[in-house]
Amino acid sequence: MPTATVDQRPKETGHNRSCELVLGVDTHKDVHVAAVLTVLGALLATRSFPATRAGYRDLLAWASSFGVVGRAGVEGTGSYGASLCRYLMTQDVRVIEVDRPDRAMRRRHGKTDTIDAEAAARAVLAGRARTHPKYSEGAVEELRVAKMVKDSAVSARTQAINQLKAILVCGDPQLREQLEPLRNPALFAACAELNPEYGVVHQALQLLAVRIRHLSEQITALKKQITLTIRALNSDRLQRPITPAEIGRRSSPRLSGGPAVHSPLTLVALREELGHLLHRVPARMP
């Protein structure tokens, strides 16, 4: 288990511990490296902490020992820094998403974790970083995860179907003539009943058909879960048509069930997706 390193403190700056500070964090899978700056840009200290719940608490307590942590620039808020981001927000720290330094900046200033943590804090101070991290709690996070898993299942099922039909095309003519006229549901059911002991082709078709069936069951379950979650969040959006004003705006208002902001294209895609999930045709766009 990684442990926190000793503070790396610059020379004494006469800092007032009641002043607001800016925290910068370079995130990794196992260790997060933090840097504390004053609002005037003076570096107070840097230190690394394990990427655990105790590590998050120690990181904030350490930073707060220098003063009041008002803002935190965090790299990777959608990956390695997601849990730290959620913890800081629960502690009333304003979290700002910071892009990782580009190659030109790394060539000029070097590349170490402490340099990246300090650069994250300076990006917040300079106003270069202004993006708030995506909301990743509650129903919003559930929807994201369910949609991600459903999409991967759909891709895997499509790949399995293509493989099954490619094997069938190159297979024994007698078997091909028997199975090719069938529509997909009947084809998959027939292939699932093949005896794998008859040969490699029969075994491959049988395994792919079983895989397709399992993936279809997963997709159905995930679609049901997505629909129930969205109904609980904002059922009226499933009933009313999308207005021209919503289409024309560059970004729509937040849904009442969460802080996620949706673009016009996302609204259209959401409506089409939900229409498919609820087995009804979505309203045509004007």
Domain that holds residue 86: 20-126
Query: Which structure tokens are listed for 120?
Result: 């994250």
Indicate whether this model's pTM tops 0.85. no
- The answer to whether position 40 is within a domain reads yes
- What is the SS3 assignment for 21? strand
pLDDT digits (tens, 9 = 90+) for 126-165: 888 777 776 556 677 788 889 999 999 999 999 999 999 9
Report the Cα 101 to chain-centroid distance in Å: 21
Say which residue the tokens 């899978």 belong to. 29
DSSP bridge pairs for 75 = 98
- The answer to whether position 2 is within a domain reads no
Q: How many C-alpha atoms does 157 have within 13 Å on its Cβ side?
A: 18
Q: In Å, how far are 162, 175, 181, 242, 245 from 169, measured between CA atoms?
A: 11, 10, 12, 44, 50
- The answer to whether position 7 is within a domain reads no
Q: Distance between CA atoms of 143 and 86, rounded to whole angstroms?
A: 17
Q: Angle 236-241-246 (CA atoms, 0-180°, nearest 5)?
A: 95
- The answer to whether position 77 is within a domain reads yes
- The answer to whether position 121 is within a domain reads yes
Q: Give the percent of the chain with pLDDT over 90.
A: 36
pLDDT digits (tens, 9 = 90+) for 251-283: 444 443 444 444 444 555 555 555 555 444 444
Query: Which of 126, 153, 171 lies at the terminal end of a domain, its last residue?
Result: 126
pLDDT digits (tens, 9 = 90+) for 184-205: 999 999 999 999 988 899 999 9
- Radius of gyration, CA atoms only, the chain: 27
| Residue 268 and residue 285 in contact, taking contact as beta carbons nearer than 8 Å | yes
Which amino acid would we find at residue 228? L
Query: Which structure tokens are listed for 211?
Result: 């895989």
Query: Which of 234, 258, 275 lies at the terminal end of a domain, its last residue?
Result: 234
**Where residue 112 sits, what CATH number does that domain have?**
3.30.420.140
- The answer to whether position 196 is within a domain reads yes
Contacts (Cβ under 8 Å, ≥6 apart) of 53? 83, 87
Say which residue the tokens 């006229």 belong to. 181
